[in-house]
Amino acid sequence: MHKHNKHQKSYDFSALVKANSSLHPFVFTNKHNTKTIDFANAEAVYQLNKAILISDYELIDYQLPQGYLCPPIPGRADYIHHLADLLQKMDSQITGLDIGIGANGIYPILASQIYDWKMVGCDINLDAVKISRHNVSLNDSLSENIDIRLQENPAHIFKNIIKPNEYYHFTMCNPPFHASAIEAQKGTQRKWSNLTGESSSELNFGGQAHELWCNGGEALFIKRMIKESAQFKAQVGWFTTLVAKGSHLPKLIKQLDKLKATYKIINMAQGQKQSRILAWRFED
């Protein structure tokens, strides 16, 4: 993990339960005499996330309806810390844009609470926007820093979101990973099997359709993003996105070279999971 990530050590479940008592029923001691939860239990993961946000990031409350993607916070915090490195401690107030905020709204929340950045988050799903707005409204510190917008045209990524005369020091995105609902279901079944050692007939482990897949999957979505980013090169310092599959990088770099963009690849790792941030900008 990034050296500034506060989640380097194991979870302090005593402190977390104190922050969110609803976590207590899900905490148990495993065969290694270590306190933990069942990470295959969606409700347990949600209560853990809520406890972390209250205990470590000073939220007053956090609510996420069942069935929405509930992301591991340590890995999401890593993205934010790497963005801070990319921006090189700029003196001005940092403003960022999260493409595809989802119902959990995790990136703007962390950006606000860790670095006091101003954030705009957008999504194509009205329910996700409403849920994110509700969580912002529950916390005064978030209300001061975060604006949630609906992208009414799924064909666009930045258009209709970035307004005239607005400037963003960065954009960020965790794009839909899968190319179809069937592929998403297979991915969910693999995840369930890895956690439990059992097969599952459930449609998904956690996450709505728009959070898990889009036509063409990750590679095509990012290629669309790169193409559209050229229209907003004067309004954004760095465009960034997570790239889950390293095999997608050559075709993405080819697209960036075609547009004469400058790019960086920032590698990340949490345990055995490998990922990377692709960052690009357009020089004057």
- Burial class for 250, CB neighbours closer than 10 Å (0-12, 13-18, 19+): exposed
Separation of alpha carbons 48 and 20, rounded Å:
8
Instruction: Check if the beta carbon of residue 160 is closer than 8 Å to that of residue 151.
Output: yes
Q: In DSSP terms, which residues pair with 118 in a beta bridge?
A: 95
> In angstroms, what CA-CA distances link 140 with 114, 145, 249?
15, 9, 40
Query: Could you tell me which residues come within 8 angstroms of residue 102 by beta carbon, excluding any fewer than 6 positions away?
Result: 68, 69, 123, 128, 132, 211
Nearest one of 225, 129, 216, 125 to 174, comparing CA atoms: 225
Q: For the CA atoms of 174, 178, 182, 184, what is the dihedral angle to 10 degrees?
A: -40
Give the HSE-up count for residue 77: Cα atoms under 13 Å, Cβ half-sphere: 20
Separation of alpha carbons 12 and 27, rounded Å:
11
Residue type, 182: I
Predicted confidence pLDDT, tens digits, the chain (284 residues): 899 999 999 999 999 999 999 999 999 999 999 999 999 999 999 999 999 999 999 999 999 998 898 989 999 999 999 999 999 876 689 999 999 999 999 999 999 999 999 999 999 999 999 999 999 999 999 999 999 999 999 999 999 999 999 999 999 999 985 344 444 444 444 443 444 455 544 433 454 444 444 566 799 999 999 999 999 999 999 999 999 999 999 999 999 999 999 999 999 987 677 889 999 999 87
Separation of alpha carbons 64 and 81, rounded Å:
24
Indicate the SS3 state at residue 74: helix
| pTM for this entry | 0.87
How many degrees, rounded to 5, is the angle at CA 159 between CA 217 and CA 67? 45
Separation of alpha carbons 128 and 211, rounded Å:
10
DSSP conformation letters of 76-122: HHHHHHHHHHHHT--SSPPEEEEES-TTT-HHHHHHHHHH--EEEEE
36-94, pLDDT tens digit by residue?
999 999 999 999 999 999 999 999 999 999 889 898 999 999 999 999 999 987 668 99
The predicted structure's pLDDT at residue 197: 55
User: In the chain, what are the domains?
Assistant: 67-281 (3.40.50.150)
The predicted structure's pLDDT at residue 177: 54
Query: Could you tell me which residues come within 8 angstroms of residue 240 by beta carbon, excluding any fewer than 6 positions away?
Result: 83, 86, 170, 171, 172, 173, 277, 278, 279, 280
The predicted structure's pLDDT at residue 116: 96
